[in-house]
Structure 1
């Protein structure tokens, strides 16, 4: 992607240190409307990803209503390809939602840190998993609205779709435009029209192109409004795709929503794919995240959990620093 990318675990800022029974350990991500923390319940030892609202001036009634809507939508989804909802409290002074913590890198992190996928079987495996998640969402009349590599985590068992139910098409024309949001939107979303299941399919097509080629299928730009114009015109160039992926991805990014396949159709078209086709560098990064997640789960108390997460924060943005040090050592 054209814009700088950051991922990993970051130290806490501000005064917030607890949400419900969960004591916060670190910050995982920040978006235009909310922030996600890593937290642990000292009584049960449960580790969770905790989403709450960015509300420096207090939580408005409208923001609370939207957050309540998201939690209700999220609870309806039980796919193995989505993160489960564990608990929530939308009436708290700072409403929060506890989600299954998935110790896995995002597809964005994998592409940025490890390069694109060169084996179409791996792309098909990921595409089929995301299509399974979308099929359940769409079957329950839920539209994700923000499918992109940053919202897709990859475990050894397959992808996990996260952060659904709170984004709206109108967000694309707000002053909070970012390339990471606009670049994976569908043309109708860029026009301010309602999002539909076909919008998610378009976003999946752009995402899979990005995985396979390591770039976006649009003219390069660092200006969100220019990117919005490219998206609105569906000005895609799918050059560079493996021949076996060209047809299905081309269909996903058809300019007219009615010409795109459904998620159920995509499951059949992608086939099973193969996780064995993942490059070694991808598998190593996935494995490291999983092992670090197990280390956190094994923490006997809050102090040990804080020590584990502090080691991640001190080590820099996730896996990048560790790998750089190893490569420097080999070069020396």
Structure 2
């Protein structure tokens, strides 16, 4: 009579446990992906200082499913209904390895040692996969770095999981390893999906923002196009013309023309307006045309806000900002035609390519933003919401976007109704109070953006709103984040450190003073000195877009 080996005896039990775990995990994959998306949204909300729910319904569902699945699996293997279940009921903490000693034909002491080592290896592998999954979901920037508070929390949970793992049956440890491997793969694919949206899909565009479009191929214009009277020419009219930018089709009921512009597609929409890809009739240049949503046209306050916003945007020069090309009203519907920019926002660039590692490119970014702020401040405006999402990295250089919540320095808010006063991780201490906010708040935000460009996240990023506020008003910026700038450009790091001084009076007074510090020469902003422009252009060429 032939005697079965230990592996043959254990194989049926292993197949049943792993098969059931895999089936349950695959059937519940939509729940897993929903929970992971919710975790990423919460991480982004906390990073940007926005409120978010502590636990999502999908995460609660995952917890309930895990507990129910674990209990069910333990009950199943204790039935001893399949060969090998006896070994899978053993655990590290309890000396119940007699079954393992029998099937392996080892003495009890040796069998005990082998069983403990194998189980601990499986447990360690499962814990490692769990940690990598959490890093994908909770980390920020390239490499998915975790802030100290999150690292501490994950370490405590890791220890708790390890302590529980030595008491549970080895079959449950094995099933958990397989389930966690699927979760890790899902979290990695989710990261790729968040970086590269599906073709034709664009996120909603904030109501005050110009178009954020990826680089597009161009074709030469055969001859300068003829424009109708009153058309404002753009720089693109003298050279290449953008061809077929990514956009969505117009929806039924949407207009096909507004103010002499033919609408080619929908770029995105916010709560107040919609941004279209448009082309002036008889012209070759495409623009981003923004208009109020039809249901808001009877709201006189919103109409006044839209008109004020158009005036603010039209006042800001085109050097390193998005330009307003045309404004008007068509059949009671106001519109705003803006320059259509190539490239991508800084936050998207950081997610796709990681921090900027070229010192000249980082300085070019810092100087271009300072020049843009100098023009904004010279007009008596304060941007109030400078952040990576409002910085466009174009082939022609950085561009400062979205003055939708700009305010006059005398304190008159241009968007008093709706919208917050900024993004928490880029807000200066004085913005947390009800007092007046001046250009120095933009200088603080400028420094945060420069640090983010070199480090991958704001120097005040944390896992909770309270922790962000404590950093802003008390503990100060993350030293490692400042160190990223110091390693690339010590002189720039010195200006950044000064700009992050809690006392507004100790910072550079405005964008012009900031630009002078960076350029080491007076008057770089009005008019823009050729030497400063050349420095930005040369430095920008070192950055791969």
Distance 1:267 1:167, change over 3 A: closer
**Which segment is superposed worse, 69-78 or 209-218?**
69-78
1:205 aligns with 2:447: yes
Name the structure 2 match of 1:11: 248
Secondary structure at the counterpart of residue 255 of structure 1: coil
How far residue 63 of structure 1 moved from its aligned partner, in angstroms, is 1.2
How far off its partner does 1:256 sit?
Answer: 2.0
User: Would you say the 8 A contact 2:364–2:540 is kept in 1?
Assistant: no
Structure showing greater relative contact order (alpha-carbon pairs closer than 8 Å, 6 or more residues apart): 1
RMSD: 3.4
Out of 252, 268, 279, which is 1:40 matched to? 279
1:70/1:255 Cα in 2 relative to 1: closer, same or farther (>3 Å)? same
Equivalent residues of 1:81, 1:158 under 8 A apart: yes
CA shift in 2, pair 1:43/1:131, >3 Å: same
Answering whether residue 108 of structure 2 is matched by residue 108 of structure 1, we say no
CA–CA separation in structure 1 for the residues paired with 2:282 and 2:447 = 43
Distance 1:173 1:226 in 2: 28
Q: Tell whether 2:455 aligns with 1:216.
A: no
- Offset, 1:278: 5.7
TM (normalized to structure 2)? 0.46
1:242 to 485, 489, 492: 485
Gaps of 5+ in 2: 1-39, 45-193, 196-202, 204-211, 214-245, 520-531
Match of 1:256 among 503, 513, 523: 503
Instruction: Give the secondary structure class of the aligned counterpart of 1:241.
Output: helix
> Which is worse superposed, 267-276 or 257-266?
267-276
Indicate yes or no: 2:301 matched with 1:62.
Answer: yes
Count of aligned positions: 281
| Structure with the greater alpha carbon radius of gyration | 2
Contact kept, 8 Å, 2:305 with 2:414, in 1: the verdict is: no
**Structure 2 counterpart of 1:193:** 435
The one-character-per-residue Cα deviations of 1:78-112 (angstroms, maximum 9, x if unpaired) are 24211221111257543221011112211122111
Query: Which 10-residue stretch deviates more, 210-219 or 12-21?
Result: 12-21
Give the unaligned 5+ runs of structure 1. 286-332
Give TM-score, length-normalised by structure 1. Answer: 0.71
Deviation at 1:209, TM superposition (A): 0.7
Change beyond 3 A, Cα 1:88–1:219 = closer
Deviation at residue 126 of structure 1 after TM alignment: 0.8
Residue deviations 1:126-174, cap 9 Å, x none? 1111111111111111111221112111223321112215356989999
Q: Which residue of 2 aligns with 1:181?
A: 423
* CA distance 1:241–1:183, shift in 2 (3 Å): same
Match of 1:163 among 402, 426, 434: 402
Partner of 1:140: 379
